Amino acid sequence: MRDVDRPLGRVLVTGAAGFVGRWLLPALWEAGASSVTALATGTEPGGAVGDAAATSATRWMMGDLRDDAYVTRVVRQAAADTVVHLAAVSHVPTAAADPMLAWDINVTATARLLHALHREREVQGIDPVVLLVGSAEQYGRHPSHGDRLGEEAVQAPRTVYAATKAAQEILALQQWRAEALKVVVARSFNHSGRGQAPRFLLPALVQRALQLRGAAPGTPMPVGNRTPIRDFLHVSDVVAAYISLCQRGTPGEAYNVASGTGWSVQQVLDRVLARAGSHATPVEDPALVRPVDVPVLVGNPNKLQRATDWRPLRTLDDIIDDLIHAEAH
């Protein structure tokens, strides 16, 4: 029999203005959070997904996680029972173009946050669960292309982004081993949905397909490499997995957040074109091909499912339809 879920209590979310953050905030309130403090750079964002009345109670604190005084202040004021660390340079080409920025935000800023949480635990007596959001990219290329990757698979990052995420995880789990900071790690596979920027694969394909919906059959549609196989989840399912891990995940453990089903980019493209009603013909554009693409990246979600009873509720077609609807409105 499973123990009673940990209450979310007071929640602190970094990177809250990003794609996943905008879906997470209302879900936290719905899951029973007593307060939510959201961290972001710049001004308070609009466009939250869900109940505007509930999310209006969210407290925003603007600043930069590379600023030690800011991190100290927000950790102290939030006095969080649960921390969800989303803040990151999350776009692979962006990280490659500015590696120092990616290492500074994804690793150094994480170290600053974890140290501040440990320090405040000693001062205030708080003992938060910290969900660190990593990436399936950490696994890199594996010879057993047909297998679903389990958490025991060797991590062999092939990009700057993946390397920073692997380093971030090492840092966080060291804090668990040395200081008993209750870190739970999510290794998230591809996810998408309304609000994701068009520089990512699925929204980019949907945008191009819709732009060519009225074009004559056979009109070229530029695409990248169509052979990689990826594991896709709807962002709402990812958010549900994160909350479940905050409530039920075991500190010191890493969990794949994955569907367990692989789709080639060609298969995804076929579904996008069909659902968008476009008769364009995909043509490979060398400028869109990534030289370090991992051929197959599909995760085994069994560990997450055993720990939390989480199951994905949305399909690939649901993701595509949501993106089409968002583009149309």
Q: What is the CATH number of the domain that holds 173?
A: 3.40.50.720
Q: State the total domains in the chain.
A: 1
Cα angle for residues 136, 165, 143 (degrees, 5° grid): 40
- Residue 38 domain boundaries: 10-192+233-259+299-312
Whether 5 is in a domain gets the answer: no
pLDDT given for residue 144 in this prediction:
61
Q: Please answer whether residues 134 and 151 qualify as being in contact, where contact means their C-beta atoms are separated by less than 8 angstroms.
A: no
Whether 304 is in a domain gets the answer: yes
Cα angle for residues 29, 31, 36 (degrees, 5° grid): 35
Whether 276 is in a domain gets the answer: no
**Dihedral of CA 147/150/156/158: which sign?**
positive
Percent of residues in the chain assigned helix, strand, coil, to nearest 5: 45, 20, 40
Whether 241 is in a domain gets the answer: yes
Whether 290 is in a domain gets the answer: no
Cα angle for residues 242, 154, 187 (degrees, 5° grid): 10
Tell me the average confidence (pLDDT) per consecutive run of 10 residues in the chain, 329 residues long.
Answer: 80 96 96 97 62 72 96 96 96 93 97 96 90 96 78 94 97 96 97 94 95 92 91 98 98 98 95 95 85 86 98 97 89
Phi then psi for 191, rounded to 5 degrees?
Answer: -145, 155
Whether 94 is in a domain gets the answer: yes
Tell if the pTM clears 0.85, that is, is over it.
yes
From CA 294, how far away is CA 149, in angstroms rounded? 13
pLDDT given for residue 134 in this prediction:
97
pLDDT given for residue 293 in this prediction:
73
HSE-CB of 298 using CA atoms within 13 angstroms? 17
In the chain, the largest separation of any two C-alpha atoms, in whole Å, equals 67
Whether 48 is in a domain gets the answer: yes
Taking residue 291's Cβ as centre, other Cβ atoms within 10 Å add up to 6
Whether 159 is in a domain gets the answer: yes
pLDDT given for residue 100 in this prediction:
97
pLDDT given for residue 124 in this prediction:
84
Q: Are strands 229-231 and 262-264 parallel, antiparallel or unpaired?
A: antiparallel
